[in-house]
Structure formats: structure tokens, C-alpha cells
Homo-oligomer: A and B are copies of this chain.
Amino acid sequence: RTLRIGLIPGDGIGREVIPAGRRILEALPTSLGLKFSFVDLDAGFETFKRTGVALPEKTVETLKQECDGALFGAVSSPTTPTKGYSSPIVALRKRLDLYANVRPVKSVAPTPAFPDPIDLVIVRENTEDLYVKEERTYDAPNGQGKIAEAIKRISERASSRIATMAGEIAVRRQRVRETTGGDAAGKKSMVTITHKSNVLSQTDGLFRATARAALEQARFRDAGVAIDEQIVDSMVYKLFRQPADYDVIVAPNLYGDILSDGAAALVGSLGLVPSANVGDGFAIGEPCHGSAPDIQGRGIANPIATLRSVGLMLEFLGQEEAAARIYKAVDANLAEGRLLSPDMGGQARTDEVVEDIIRRL
């Protein structure tokens, strides 16, 4: 089977890590029976500066009409307010209805602060909440300056499908743990619903009630997936105190955004944390890190977040075996700890890390 993959490097180190993603796909063993073809696509702040549009229609159309999946690098945000600019990845998630942002966070090795292995996944709703970007500005009464408002929108439909996806991911993780055995097998299968319904009784109340109802489905109950919940502030606290206690965390868009950066901090580097933007039948792999202008062009970006994002993309395209190969090769590189990029305390260049991982496929 041939999968056609859109490559959207974007800005900064996106241009260094997306080629690494392509290389690992090309290096997958032929025994897997997978072939890939690629198409290069534009998006980002550089594209905006050149063309006045951050997400060209051609990129959206090509993804919709030709591609099975895609890899997205990173985009720079303008440092000063820039008229007409709007984040292309946020737009892409909505245009392709990639309603879930899936962010697994896994520790490399025990540390004094976190002796127990961290292995959790944040399942972030990807299409609504404050990200609908419906804003308006008006003059305050009595001439006291301006007032701006934004809409936070939560729908039953989006909350239900994201919680269902979280439940499915919990079931799949439990299956993998049972197959793998060892310490991991003892981990409790659980979905933690994150919300702030003590303040936002209608919006977050709807998210909470809908997520709970979706997770009470017989198929999740029968698979032994426990339902848990945390108020978002308390979730952040717990995440930093007892991260090993969590399995799958499901959250509305903005809390998910914040939680996933927080979780990334726990495992040492944003350069390790992958994500996938997932819809029905389409997935875009995307490293969690940004465009990192400070190290751009030096060939030292950590490719691991991208390589793991390639794995995630493949997983959601139904290619679990290929995905597992990539994860294992990455874990082996990290476990050996000989060829690490500078963010991990090593001295290896992007290419050397990629080659080491390819060698282990």
C-alpha cells in the first residue's frame, strides 16, 4: 500500500525536523509492505510574509484531495500584533476537522523528583473552546478605555467525540500494556476529565457531563476503564506532584494546550514530545515544540518529537506495527543515551540522532 504524505515544514526548525520525519518513513523495513509518496506544502509566518496568507488554499486542498496524512513542523508567531495573520495550524485543525490533539508524554528514565515512570497521554479537543476565535472589541462606558470579549464555545457533539476517542485510546493502551507485560502491566486504565465546572457551570459543566456519559459506555466499562475527574488548576498541581498516577487525560482545547506543555516539562524537553491532530480517517503528526528561532539553521534540533509524531500519525492511519517500530527505535536511542541532541544534554546533531534511530528500526 502507498500512503501519500503532505510535508508542511513551516518555520524555523520545522524545516530541519520535517525532513527527518520523511527520512524515517523512507527507512521503514520493506517487510511492512508500506510505501510512501510525498508532497511539499507551504504554511507559516514566512509564507505569510511572502504571500499575505499563512495557510494557502492549495495546502488545504492538496491535503484533502491527495493525502492520507501529513507532517507539520512548527510556526513562528509574529512578535508584534500583525494584521491579517492567524495561526495556520489552528486553521488547519478546523478546516480538516481534526478534532483530537493527542499528546503522549513518557519519561525516559526515573529521576529523583519522579521515581515512578511517567506514561500518560493528553487528549485535547481541537476544534472549539476559545479557539473558535470569535472576538470583538468595544469602548467601555464612561470612557474607561476598551473592552474585548471572546467566546468560549463547548458543544455536546465535540465533547462526546473527544471523550470517546479518549476512551478508545485508554482501551488500546491497556491492550498494549498487557501485551508488553512487566511493570507497566500493573498500571490502572483511567480517563481523567479536566474542567473548571466549579466556575463555568454551563460550558465546562457540559463538557464534564458529556464526557462522563461517553465514558460510561459499556465497551469502556467492560474494558475496565475507570472514570476520574480533576478541576484544571488542581490537575496542573497533581500533574506535577503525582504524574505517574495518570493514564489518559481528556480536556477542552485551551486546558489541553496548557496541560500538554506542562506535561512536556516533566519529561525533560519539549523536543521529545509528539502530537497528532486526528480526525476521521486523517492524521497530521506535529512535534509539540515551536519553531525555536534561537537554534534554527544550526542542525542541532532534536528530531525525536517529530519521529514520534510520525509514529502517532501512522498509528491513527491504522499502521500500528510500523508505529511500534519507530517508538522502539527511539526508546532504544534514548535508553542508550549516547547520541543525544543538546537539549538532552548531549552533543549529537539532528542527522546523527536520526541515523542512530534509523539503524535501530
Chain A interface residues toward B at CB < 8 A: 77, 81, 86-87, 90, 111-113, 130-131, 133, 135-137, 140, 144-157, 160, 196-203, 205-206, 209-210, 231-234, 236-241, 254-255, 257-258, 260-262, 264-266, 270, 290
CB neighbours (8 Å) of A131 from chain B are 199
CB neighbours (8 Å) of A290 from chain B are 234
Of all chain B residues, the one with the shortest Cβ separation from A151 is: B149
Give the CA-CA distance A16 to B344 in the complex, in Å: 46
On whether the beta carbons of B203 and A232 are closer than 8 Å, the reply is no
Q: Tell whether A152 pairs with B130 under 8 Å between CB atoms, given A197-B81, A265-B241.
A: yes
The copy count of this chain in the complex is: 2
On whether the beta carbons of B148 and A151 are closer than 8 Å, the reply is no
A200 smallest CB distance to B (angstroms): 5
CB neighbours (8 Å) of A153 from chain B are 147-149
Q: Tell whether A237 pairs with B265 under 8 Å between CB atoms, given A81-B197, A155-B140.
A: yes
A302 smallest CB distance to B (angstroms): 15
CB neighbours (8 Å) of A197 from chain B are 81
CB neighbours (8 Å) of A238 from chain B are 265
Give the CA-CA distance A84 to B309 in the complex, in Å: 46
On whether the beta carbons of B205 and A150 are closer than 8 Å, the reply is no
Give the CA-CA distance A202 to B134 in the complex, in Å: 9
CB neighbours (8 Å) of A133 from chain B are 199-201
On whether the beta carbons of A144 and B130 are closer than 8 Å, the reply is no
Partner among B130, B147, B258 whose Cβ is within 8 Å of the Cβ of A236: B258
Q: Tell whether A148 pairs with B144 under 8 Å between CB atoms, given A257-B233, A258-B258, A262-B262.
A: no
Q: Tell whether A147 pairs with B136 under 8 Å between CB atoms, given A87-B199, A261-B236.
A: no
CB-based closest 4 A-B pairs: A145-B156, A240-B265, A135-B202, A113-B113
On whether the beta carbons of B258 and A240 are closer than 8 Å, the reply is no
CB neighbours (8 Å) of A231 from chain B are 77
CB neighbours (8 Å) of A113 from chain B are 111-113
On whether the beta carbons of A237 and B209 are closer than 8 Å, the reply is no
A88 smallest CB distance to B (angstroms): 11
